[in-house]
Structure 1
């Protein structure tokens, strides 16, 4: 067995015989705050895999649960195996995908742009993956180009489900879903198994379904207290305040000494409430920036719109340097965020804490897509909408006229697949490379006057 690299931030995986008995660890390919990802080779057949060692119990539980639900779903990364035992980090064995959409965008800049057919093919695959998630009641909550991985033959798959949530229950699969596991589960429940397979290799392994459910429930119960204390993505917290993402909290000059309150009538930790501190800032829906804890798949659809815009322009749509700057950039393009444009927004936890002067002439989404076709702008507007209820679901967009008009989506074998992921190195801040969640030293740097007012229960900030 090769010795762990001296530069590794975490090399506990090298000393775990339960893993090394089955997999050879080749090298580390990504590192983040809560996980390290390695490239490995399965001893039994030489299959190259990704080994994701997750250092946060909550993230591990969520990723395993979501990927179990999405077994065999189209355009979702395959979970081949996982290892999780007491006093050890969870290690997920995932199919290895060499590139990501961030690298496609990077290479597109160098080449002077992406072909319309390329953009359409990437979007069709993203939509298929997002649709599979949403029909199975999974909200990804962190869609961005670096979490959209690509195989050597051009197949794109959604990955990194560490922030995902299941909207109803903890079942493997919604009974009405097209990917029901009934065909893989025997009638004898005590002996029932779920197959985890890599379709491209034809290999499969079996795990006991009831053992899996018992295991994750035990883990959830045992570590629930630690999760609430240690993780920065606790569910039930009303908000991380629109002035600061989880990365901004330490530096925020306006953080309040007052506790932030949940919406009236909602108990902390009550089923159905979720944290607003999820997703990379540039792709975060405005309702999350204002502290919403009552949201669903619509948050993913906003992120999907930001990804589509970046494929078209090769630049981020809203590259905010802080959460306040993020809101300001969105308002500068979209106009005022109020009850007229987003019914019910005044009830968001942080809506009364941050105010911007009225935007008389927002520049509009068209200005962000100069030189693009009217049909591309129309499709973007179906996703980038203040009102979550008016964002078009992925299933509907798959049948959109945009994908049927010429030029058609390119065949997979004509796509230009990068050789590696974007930012795949020791300094990458993302688990698999990708964007850094940039922040400024002060959220107010990009604004003129700032007026902070104590409201008794918190504070409000007005920008001019």
Structure 2
């Protein structure tokens, strides 16, 4: 009890705690509180003085403490197992050069695990059961480089869809070919020809297809350049500069490379649609590449409805000239036949002045079509006006018939058979690229010359501006196919060999 000026403090024990009560010194309840404190100090009704009860309470406290400690120990073991698994993942994904790959997926540990060893053993078993992933290096997404990273050395030539120059990469010193796409006449935005060329070149990674390195930009949105490997020659310029045509073994080497690249394109469902000697590039190591994919596009089976105004005139197949709008890879194989004939003679095989004259020259070489050599050709739009001669010389046996031997006197029988199949009027009679590669012509003597033994030639593209060749340009995209009248193909009417009709006058040739 405390004595103060006006209060008296009474301490009472209630259960396990102590309560302090402040009571005024002269309060009438002071005697009562004193008696209550005396009674509670002797025995409290909240306190349990039974020894058995106290023992039970103490046992419960000890069990509770043991559970808490067991839970803490279990949590510690789980954390140790996770840390050990993370160290193992880091060691397993360590690359040979020191670079670490992405971490593996974290495993969920079982709640009933009692030891870290059991958890680690379970994780190891799961890692062994799961197949490992193969990782391949690849480029990262990023902005295009600027064209100022390249020093332009000289102009090479202008094509239907771009200007090609020789340039040097300033950072590496490598000489490359820089092609600027023609975007001036594209009011609807980026031309689809450029998009198709970029898309097909990115997909066509083959040793006989020109390699697209990257796409760079200029100062304006319409300054788009394709950076490709540089090659010293194109086949057209090479044939013009040669005094003698290629040897038979060299022709086979060139053809095998062209058809090999084309077979890969067709296996990827890509039609080139503008094969010609000026679009075949060659370096001084005897390697040939297919280039200029401005008219290339994907196709399907059955082929969709396509534009008929494709392929440069001298290499265009007869079904396209007669207005076919559904075609397939057969048009590329016809172009291969024209290239084959050009390699043999050093001159383009079929040099028509226009579409009518081109059809006339084709029929003069192969003979006029009939129901045996080309079934169903009358259903083509432009064939309805075609008037065939009433009597014609008998054609040679076979389907397709052989071309005249007098045109190719130095070609073997197997070579003449391959050329006749490639230049068959009926598209269904032309061989595929795979069948062409397996033809007996390439297995007979003389065998194809190894590329290492191929002759080298001085490069026109490397040092000076290349002169323009007298070759028709490829058709422009969006250009409407003209309405043609083939009534005078065999009669010498205007539009054939006799002359060309103009606006109000007729130009007589010869």
1:142 aligns with 2:245: no
1:62 aligns with 2:196: yes
Question: Residues 167 and 304 of structure 1: is their aligned pair in 2 closer, same or farther, counting only changes over 3 Å?
Answer: same
CA distance in 2, matches of 1:358, 1:55: 48
Equivalent position to 1:395, from 434, 437, 453: 434
Deviations 1:157-193 (A, max 9, x none): 0000001111149xxxxxxxxxxxxxxxxxxxxxxxx
2:360 corresponding residue in structure 1: 328
Larger radius of gyration: 2
Q: TM-score, normalised by structure 2?
A: 0.59
1:153 corresponding residue in structure 2: 285
CA distance in 2, matches of 1:449, 1:31: 35
Q: TM-score, normalised by structure 1?
A: 0.64
Q: How does 1:174-253 map to 2 (within 5 A)?
A: none
Does the 8 Å CA contact 2:147/2:216 hold for their aligned counterparts?
no
Question: Residues 40 and 376 of structure 1: is their aligned pair in 2 closer, same or farther, counting only changes over 3 Å?
Answer: same
1:435 corresponding residue in structure 2: 471
* Shift of residue 407, structure 1, vs aligned partner: 1.1
1:386 aligns with 2:425: yes
* Shift of residue 121, structure 1, vs aligned partner: 0.6
CA distance in 1, matches of 2:461, 2:412: 28
1:162 corresponding residue in structure 2: 294
CA distance in 1, matches of 2:440, 2:420: 14
Equivalent position to 2:320, from 276, 279, 288: 288
Does the 8 Å CA contact 1:60/1:90 hold for their aligned counterparts?
no
CA distance in 2, matches of 1:356, 1:416: 46
CA distance in 2, matches of 1:44, 1:359: 69
CA distance in 1, matches of 2:333, 2:454: 24
Equivalent position to 1:95, from 229, 238, 250: 229
CA distance in 1, matches of 2:148, 2:237: 33
* Shift of residue 416, structure 1, vs aligned partner: 2.1
1:419 corresponding residue in structure 2: 458
CA distance in 2, matches of 1:106, 1:28: 19
| Unpaired stretches in structure 2, ≥5 consecutive residues | 1-143, 184-190, 396-402, 475-484, 497-510
1:123 corresponding residue in structure 2: 255
| Unpaired stretches in structure 1, ≥5 consecutive residues | 1-16, 170-270, 453-464
Does the 8 Å CA contact 1:333/1:362 hold for their aligned counterparts?
no
Deviations 1:178-225 (A, max 9, x none): xxxxxxxxxxxxxxxxxxxxxxxxxxxxxxxxxxxxxxxxxxxxxxxx
Question: Residues 311 and 107 of structure 1: is their aligned pair in 2 closer, same or farther, counting only changes over 3 Å?
Answer: same
CA distance in 2, matches of 1:64, 1:418: 30
* Shift of residue 343, structure 1, vs aligned partner: 2.2
Does the 8 Å CA contact 1:145/1:307 hold for their aligned counterparts?
yes
Equivalent position to 1:50, from 155, 177, 180: 177
**Bigger relative contact order (CA 8 A; separation at least 6):** 1
Deviations 1:9-63 (A, max 9, x none): xxxxxxxx95334212222111134311111111221111111111141221121
Equivalent position to 1:79, from 212, 215, 224: 212
CA distance in 2, matches of 1:131, 1:102: 22
* Shift of residue 362, structure 1, vs aligned partner: 7.7
Question: Residues 126 and 451 of structure 1: is their aligned pair in 2 closer, same or farther, counting only changes over 3 Å?
Answer: closer
Secondary structure class of the residue paired with 1:24: strand
